[in-house]
Amino acid sequence: MRLAAFQFLDEQTRIWGDVLPWRVLSQGFVFGDRRVPLVSQQGIFKPAVLRNVPLSIRTTPIVEGRDRPYDDGMTPDGLLLYRYRGTDAAHRDNAGLRQAMTEQIPLVHLQGITKGSYLASWPVFIVGDDPVALAFTVALAEPEVLGSDLSPIIAEDARRTYYRSVTKRRLHQAVFRERVLHAYQRSCGICHLKHTELLDAAHILPDSHPRGEPVVPNGLALCKLHHAAFDTNILGIRPDLVIEVRSEVLLESDGPMLRHGLQEVDGTVLKAPRRAEWKPGVGFLEERYEQFRKAG
């Protein structure tokens, strides 16, 4: 059943990306003749089909001005510090996670990004239990094979580095995507497509660039076609938000996708967010447009 859950999550992230909507998680998947959800209102969730060990653990998103019911956080080793349910270490939910640790049973972790959207990680494992702190420690990513020639000390250090980098990178990417899509009202800034599963948060300056910060002014909500066209400099966006398509592409003759999807957007204006602090940064656009101009 857990393998079926992991397969379901893999399929859904191929559609939606790393961040999944609550409705997809709560609907779940069919196992045998039963529907198995991955979430409920309880942070530690065990569907009826399971006896003792939960299927998923959930961390609520941070909302400014509001306290979270459980203060989950990260350890210096890049592991999740996941709080007990309540203060009774023997509570059945806590006992279930303790059994998962003892038997090394994999779980799903759902990190709240915004209300109703969660970054899914799987398989994750309970690797520590601290009854004094009322918390478990959870490994959110399994390390790649590090090589048998590494000493135990080096291997452990590499494992910690891996946990930290993978966890931070996935979380930052997920937060960036959700904030950009929210700013653009979940609509492509070029063609206005509103199917979230077909939208990306594109960087104006890539994250490998010294100024390529994961902030909304360095982001654009684009459908997958226009994201790819932007990244490959088939189209560019001027600092005044006018969209340009490379001249040789305008002269090509092909099917309706080229005509409607690319050629007809030449000279149109990007639909930017209304709030000034969310609009594309002029400095970001100037540098990126220069790259597009040279490529053309």
Reported as a pLDDT band with limits 50, 70 and 90, residue 28 is very high
> How far are the Cα atoms of 88, 136, 149, 263, 291 from residue 72, in angstroms, in the given order?
17, 10, 36, 49, 42
Residues in Cβ contact with 240 at an 8 Å cutoff, skipping those fewer than 6 apart: none
Least confident of 14-28, 69-83, 158-172: 158-172
Which residue spans within the chain are E strands per DSSP? 19-21, 29-31, 34-36, 44-45, 56-59, 73-74, 80-83, 107-114, 117-130, 135-139, 199-203, 219-223, 235-237, 243-245
The tens digit of pLDDT for each residue in 65-118 reads 555 555 567 777 667 889 999 999 899 999 999 999 999 999 999 988 888 899
Please provide the size of the chain in residues.
296
pLDDT at 149 over 80: no
> Tell me, what's the pLDDT at 150?
42
Reported as a pLDDT band with limits 50, 70 and 90, residue 38 is very high
> Tell me, what's the pLDDT at 208?
84
Over residues 34-46, mean pLDDT: 94
Tokens linked to 290 = 């220069």
Domains and CATH numbers, the chain: 2-177 (2.30.280), 187-295 (no CATH)
The tens digit of pLDDT for each residue in 189-248 reads 999 999 988 999 999 999 888 888 889 999 999 999 999 999 999 999 999 999 999 999
Reported as a pLDDT band with limits 50, 70 and 90, residue 153 is very low
Tokens linked to 67 = 């306290």
pLDDT above 90 as % of the chain: 60
pLDDT at 148 over 50: no
Instruction: Give the separation between CA 4 and CA 9, rounded to whole angstroms.
Output: 9
Least confident of 16-30, 54-68, 142-156, 172-186: 142-156
pLDDT at 14 over 70: yes
Instruction: Give the separation between CA 128 and CA 234, rounded to whole angstroms.
Output: 50
